[in-house]
Structure 1
């Protein structure tokens, strides 16, 4: 029987994490400021009897914010990944960044860098700006800065998530020739991950987090989704089982990952090449695989409540987004209607 968490224990843990982080920041600030580490100085700084100087380093405060948010369990592994990627790319653009350098122009320039140098699409840029704005909002609350310049930056319109593949498209991807020299292995891994998502509806984060222990009797997958923390059961079909056979599960331990590692950025870059090789004009991203799963189930007249269950949606209105069709399907429907 699972032990019930005590509310007081949770509150105490949160208070201790915050206090630990505050003391850590004080000590780090003293070290960076070459302040003598005497017992009296440390006691005075912790008690607040000495005015604390604000460290101007953005990344120093970002790490403190991130440590608290993740320590309190407010960030899922998927969200954690987005914050880490945001920091990584921001540091690549500006290795040393001070708080007083962050203004609307700086953010606009960073967005331009993401578009031109990193080939980040509108959805990715929107995610980076969302992370940036959340951090700066906290800095305003903590009185590190006076305002959040992200509020003056218009987020690009995200690509509509209504693209999905039909059976003919999937066959093209399965049979596409991906022999491209040293790119071949990465493309093959990405194709395998993408098709597995098409056949199971799992997000990229859940496919990459899938472990042998999540495969039950070679018949179904039971996994807690990283994004929603909801447990879902997905039944395996001939297509997904065929891919699992290539994963050599017999040689793996229960805690081992099923698939080879491949970064999300690399996967979406690979998918552009795979789309070209398969002669598919649709814009491929990993989310298209999940949309394909839901849409093909809908086309095959799967009850919407089952699609909702398989995809782990909390609200059926989210599932209805996947209940669309392409031009070919629409034509077939109209040709079979008797008026």
Structure 2
């Protein structure tokens, strides 16, 4: 799907939204989204929609419209209490509060007084378990025979594990983004979420997949089907380690003991890439590959289009791959 088509969908949805009474929180949320509709991607719009719907549910709970003047410390306490009673996960709660704080800033810029200075909330940091595929599990997936209908999904899953990109980026890999640097096959693209330019040398495993697909990338698959398919692939490959994980049910998350294949999603490749190569490849090179902004000090010194870094990362890929073959 092209960026223009996605933008048109967002505009259509935004213009069809319910109208809210003036000076209510939802009125300004709607204004904020409409003001940004030309600049946001569909995934960002969906996230805003989650926040907006949660605020609407809270209004239903208190049986009253929330005016901008009522968004204060008491609002924060009641909102958190409501969300916890409804079993919303911590991320959804605090991301929603941060979004509401953004709305207050938006309103302040219009010259309307708010209680933003008293709008504070302290989050108790939870220990978050990061789910990844080990190198052994990735090898198991490679070797597992699967139905033809799952082949493209399997190829994309492996590509994601060896490129470390989000589904919005790797699922848009095409031959016209390929180029050679000193004989090394690379892919050149702009990350959709961050608008960051990435020039990434392709891991030998990715090059093998391209060759197996008549020198092309696999067929495009929509995210929903892809997520469904990789769970089937994980089950066939016996990725069945029992782990305690938060499984999302709607906008809520429950902590359950599950087999790993049950919670495989499109982001597993990105996490696995970062985890499996960490300590084997300099962190600065990994960050240049993933485009992460979490290590800001590293990013200040990295140029993703630097030829020497691209070739150096490519050499590391080759060395590790050849060691696994021997």
Are residue 55 (structure 1) and residue 22 (structure 2) matched?
yes
**Structure 2 counterparts to residues 119-134 of structure 1, below 5 A:** 121-134=89-102
The separation in 1 between residues aligned to 2:153 and 2:117, in whole angstroms, is 38
Question: TM-score, normalization: structure 1?
Answer: 0.53
Q: Relative CO higher for 1 or 2, CA cutoff 8 Å, sep ≥ 6? A: 2
Are residue 87 (structure 1) and residue 48 (structure 2) matched?
no
Give the gaps of 5 or more residues in structure 2: 1-18, 246-263, 300-326
Aligned residue pair count: 250
Which structure shows the bigger proportion of residues in strand conformation?
Answer: 2
The one of 149, 161, 180 equivalent to 1:198 is: 161
Give the gaps of 5 or more residues in structure 1: 1-31, 34-53, 116-120, 320-339
Q: Highest Rg: 1 or 2?
A: 1
Match of 1:237 in 2: 203
Match of 1:310 in 2: 289
- SS in structure 2 of the partner of residue 99 of structure 1: coil
- SS in structure 1 of the partner of residue 200 of structure 2: strand
Which structure shows the bigger proportion of residues in helix conformation?
Answer: 1
Offset from partner CA, 1:105-129 (integer Å, 9 cap, x none): 23542455462xxxxx544544333
Distance 1:151 1:93, change over 3 A: closer
Are residue 214 (structure 1) and residue 193 (structure 2) matched?
no
Distance 1:267 1:59, change over 3 A: farther
Q: Which moved more, 1:309-318 or 1:229-238?
A: 309-318
Contact 1:123 1:158 in 2 (8 A): no
Contact 1:230 1:312 in 2 (8 A): yes
Contact 1:173 1:274 in 2 (8 A): yes
Match of 2:107 in 1: 139
Are residue 106 (structure 1) and residue 71 (structure 2) matched?
no
Quote how far apart the aligned CAs of 1:223 are. 1.0
Match of 1:259 in 2: 220
Offset from partner CA, 1:137-162 (integer Å, 9 cap, x none): 43355466732599454446355475
The separation in 2 between residues aligned to 1:313 and 1:90, in whole angstroms, is 30
The separation in 2 between residues aligned to 1:169 and 1:229, in whole angstroms, is 32
Distance 1:86 1:210, change over 3 A: farther
Contact 2:104 2:114 in 1 (8 A): no
Offset from partner CA, 1:188-246 (integer Å, 9 cap, x none): 87665543221101123323454553344793321112233221112223433455578
- SS in structure 1 of the partner of residue 170 of structure 2: helix
Contact 2:230 2:265 in 1 (8 A): no
- SS in structure 2 of the partner of residue 227 of structure 1: coil
Are residue 292 (structure 1) and residue 259 (structure 2) matched?
no
Contact 1:58 1:99 in 2 (8 A): yes
Distance 1:235 1:106, change over 3 A: same
Are residue 65 (structure 1) and residue 17 (structure 2) matched?
no
